[in-house]
Amino acid sequence: MLISIPEVLSKGEVQQIREHLDKADWQAGSQTAGSIARHVKQNQQLDDNQEPAISLGNHIVRALSQHPIFISAALPDKIYPPKFNRYSENETYGAHVDAALMQIPNTQQSMRTDLSATLFLAEPDEYDGGELTIETQYGPQTVKLAAGDMVLYPSTSLHQVAPVKRGARVASFFWIQSLIRDSQQREMLFDLDQSIQKLTSELGQTHSEVVNLSGVYHNLLRQWATPA
């Protein structure tokens, strides 16, 4: 399931974040790549253990915790601290799959990567190229969203970032371990929750059908959830 989530950050928040990022000390992204990925990874990243990456990442996590579509789609158990990258002209990231397990920085905790997320921090007209292409069961899907919008997709997906031809593509990226490990179950819960929200707005939260469907949702969640 590939989901575009609008307005994770407001335009004002994006502008403030960009003011920090545009002055930041960027490093070669290949320094953080694995043995296979470093051969196809040509971009720039911030040091995760230094400012402004830490405070900006915390801001994004707080915004996500208040975004109903993200909560509904991801049902997050753990979120890897957001990282930041930039692709300037001719930079790219070839086809790859994200690591299945990651250690959360500065902790003894590991997490399973169920979902990958890219939060766009540059407007589409700021750069040419730089599209994120994700392989799905329906074929490749190309994503290039407005600044402040985010795409959420299975971490099992083969994906790549096309070469940037003009300007700079700036984004935050991170991973989520979901309470619902099975992607099909997670998708069904999301669809059911969205239907409940629509019915609630039309019929009211005390309507018998809304109450019944909410019960079904929570009983399925109770049955399928596998917290660490």
159 is in an annotated binding site: yes
Same domain, 135 and 213: no
Domain count, the chain: 2
Same domain, 113 and 199: no
* Position 31 pLDDT exceeds 80: no
Same domain, 164 and 96: yes
Same domain, 145 and 193: no
Same domain, 220 and 115: no
Six-digit token string for 17: 């974040």
Instruction: Report the length, in residues, of the chain.
Output: 228
Quote the domain boundaries for residue 12. Answer: 3-178
Six-digit token string for 182: 């099975």
pLDDT in tens, 188-217: 999 999 999 999 999 999 999 999 999 999
pLDDT in tens, 144-177: 999 999 999 999 999 999 999 999 999 999 999 9
Same domain, 214 and 119: no
Q: Report percent pLDDT > 70 for the chain.
A: 96
Same domain, 155 and 174: yes
Same domain, 36 and 146: yes
pLDDT band at 34 (very low <50, low <70, confident <90, very high): low
98 is in an annotated binding site: yes
186 is in an annotated binding site: no
Six-digit token string for 1: 């399931």
Same domain, 72 and 15: yes
CATH code at position 22: 2.60.120.620
Mean pLDDT of the chain: 95
Q: Which of 160, 178, 196 is the last residue of a domain?
A: 178
96 is in an annotated binding site: yes
pLDDT band at 226 (very low <50, low <70, confident <90, very high): confident
CATH code at position 204: 4.10.860.20
Average pLDDT on 50-66 reads 97
User: What is the C-alpha to C-alpha distance for residues 77 and 73, in angstroms, rounded to an integer?
Assistant: 12
pLDDT in tens, 65-102: 999 999 999 999 999 999 999 999 999 999 999 999 99
pTM above 0.75, yes or no: yes
User: What is the C-alpha to C-alpha distance for residues 137 and 203, in angstroms, rounded to an integer?
Assistant: 36
pLDDT at 210: 96
pLDDT at 113: 98
Same domain, 164 and 198: no
Same domain, 58 and 167: yes
In this structure, are residues 83 and 118 in contact, taking their beta carbons and an 8 Å threshold? no
With residues binned 3-state (H G I as helix, E B as strand, rest as coil), the percentages for the chain, rounded to 5, are 35, 30, 35
- The number of CA neighbours under 13 Å toward the Cβ of 135 is 10
pLDDT at 37: 63
Average pLDDT on 118-143 reads 97
Same domain, 27 and 101: yes
pLDDT band at 39 (very low <50, low <70, confident <90, very high): confident
Q: Among 168, 182, 145, 161, which Cα is nearest to 96's?
A: 161
Six-digit token string for 110: 């590991």
